[in-house]
Amino acid sequence: MLRNWFEQPWRGGFVESQLRLIGLDWTVPEISTLSRRQKTLAVNIPYRGSKGPLHLLIDSTGIKVEGQWHARNHGGAKQRVWRKIHLRIDEQTLEVRAVEITGSQIGHAPVLPDLLDQIPADQEIGSVTADGAYDT
């Protein structure tokens, strides 16, 4: 998480210094240990849930698969490869409740049913708000 937060590669010394700053005397694992263990790590993220019917916000954004730094330093195709991330957010709690990742050529509207299918059958939907791209 720290690696992503600070947009830096894994540095054990950096993590050690952060732990010391917050008063923890923990041993920092080697990167190979973290890499090996992350494959089997099961993460259970609790959902607070909304009271009453769900009011959903739907939107998407694009991300580049290959960053500008890599292309600048190593050369790369002029045509960048990118993906779309479609999100379904609970308006009350602002928690992301569903994610679909598609290629850049897939439109917004075809993904909407997949986002809505991830809602439990017993959950009532109050409203769905999305931008105009989901109208088609």
Residue-wise pLDDT tens digits, 79-131:
667 889 999 999 988 888 889 989 888 888 889 899 889 888 888 899 999 88
Higher pLDDT, 90 or 10: 90
Average pLDDT, the chain: 81
Q: How far apart are CA 32 and CA 34, in angstroms?
A: 5
| Residue 125 in tokens | 């939907």
- The span from the first CA to the last CA of the chain, in angstroms, equals 37
Other CB atoms within 10 Å distance of the CB of residue 54: 20
Q: Pick left, alpha or beta for residue 96 (phi over 0 → left; psi -120 to 50 → alpha; otherwise beta).
A: beta
CA 125 to chain centre: 23
pTM score of the predicted model: 0.58
